[in-house]
Amino acid sequence: MIPNVNHGLQKFWKEEEGLGTLEMILIIAILIAVAIIFREQISKIITGLLDKADQKSNDFMDS
């Protein structure tokens, strides 16, 4: 009985099916958490980049 349980546990531990899905879910969860934590800073950076792009395009069109 004990060897069967031990073999079953080893087989379960070595099974890697679905591991890629779990890793992807964890990576996405971490990215979402980081985005939520730093959302104000990210918003400021994106707003600044868009303002610069708008200013550069206006300068180009005016020339």
> Phi/psi zone of residue 15: left (φ > 0), alpha (ψ -120 to 50 degrees), beta?
beta
CA atoms of 11 and 48, how far apart (whole Å): 54
Q: Which helix (H) or strand (E) holds 20?
A: helix 19-37
For residue 19, the model assigns a pLDDT of 67
Residue 42: how many other CB atoms lie within 10 Å: 13
Q: Give yes or no for a contact between 54 and 46, defined as CB atoms under 8 angstroms apart.
A: no
Mind listing the pLDDT tens digit for each residue in 16-63? Answer: 666 678 888 999 999 999 999 999 999 999 999 999 999 999 988 887
pTM to 2 decimals? 0.51
